[in-house]
Amino acid sequence: MKKSEFEEKLKLTAAAVKDSRVKEAMLYSLMAGGKRIRPMMLYAVTEGYGLPAETADAFACALEMIHTYSLIHDDLPAMDNDDLRRGRPTCHKAFDEATAILAGDGLLTYAFETAVKTAGISAEQVLKGVRILAGDAGPDGMVLGQCLDMQESVQTDWKALQTIHHHKTGCLLSAPLEIGAVLAGCDEETCGLWRQIGFDIGLAFQLQDDILDVEKTAAELGKSNSDERNEKVTGVSLLGIEKARTLMNQLYDDSFAKIEKIKGFESDALTGLLREVQHRNH
């Protein structure tokens, strides 16, 4: 699946919402670019199992909607209070706070309305996928991660920080891998293996995000670096940049080795995508 092709599908899906100011704000943030890593990971898994791309379309759009909602809410003054996201003013800066809250709410709920329209596989598999998505996005998943992150303090150590990353970043990167396996009809053990790989990639991705935050400017990244402003503890501040980089590369490389060993899975598309992610510069 090409990123541009996915973006067309995403735009068409969101275009079906009734016209309103909240729809404008939803589209403003949803179509503002972004790497689209989560949907691309899902397509790479379903493709590797030989499924047609259409089977993954609804969940791919849903993942990107949930991810975009989380960015909109994370940028709000009550959370990180950021001005720049995906190279543009954040949603509450371009619209207003109330509209940005509603745009996040709209994207979150519309994601589930979209996911349940998945065609071409059993209702039982769709239901399993929806459960994973809800669990990973909700109060046992990303929302919990965000809550822990808000409570983070100078006493936060590497173990506590990993718990934050596991939920805040890992859950939504694990979801596409596990949902892809569910859509392909994999057994519980294989789905669990994909889930674990997703968490390792999530930690690698977060370490990389922290490294990029200190090495690049806000203009290069297209987003403000609020961690520094908010004096947040990060993988880099706790481990040091070189140790953080070594751990990040080790997590990616171990994940590639595990993916290549998964039976009945053609891994080239997924490992190719993740290698690009590993070597990204924004």
Shortest distance, CB of residue 41 to ligand GRG, whole angstroms?
Answer: 10
Nearer to ligand GRG, 115 or 126 (CB): 115
195 lines the binding site for ligand GRG (CB under 6 A): no
200 binds ligand GRG (CB under 6 A): no
Residues 125-154 as x/- pattern, contact with ligand GRG by CB under 6 A: -----------------xx--x--------
Closer Cβ to ligand GRG, 195 or 232, answer by number: 232
CB of 5 to ligand GRG, least distance (A): 17
List Cβ neighbours of 58 (8 Å cut-off, separation of 6 or more).
13, 114, 115, 116, 117, 118, 119
User: Is there binding between residue 118 and ligand GRG (CB under 6 A)?
Assistant: no
**73, 167, 195, 232: residue in contact with ligand GRG (rule CB under 6 A):** 73
Contact 103, 22 (CB under 8 A): yes
Contacts of 56 (CB under 8 A, 6+ apart): 1, 39, 42, 43, 46, 180, 183
Residue 84, SS3 per DSSP: strand
The reply to whether 203 sits near ligand GRG by the rule CB under 6 A is no
Dig out the tokens for 35 from the structure: 């790497």
> Which one, 73 or 195, has the nearer CB to ligand GRG?
73
User: What DSSP string describes 130-184?
Assistant: HHHHHHHHSTTTHHHHHHHHHH--TT--HHHHHHHHIIIIIHHHHHHHHHHHHHT
Site for ligand GRG in 164-183 (CB under 6 A): 168-169
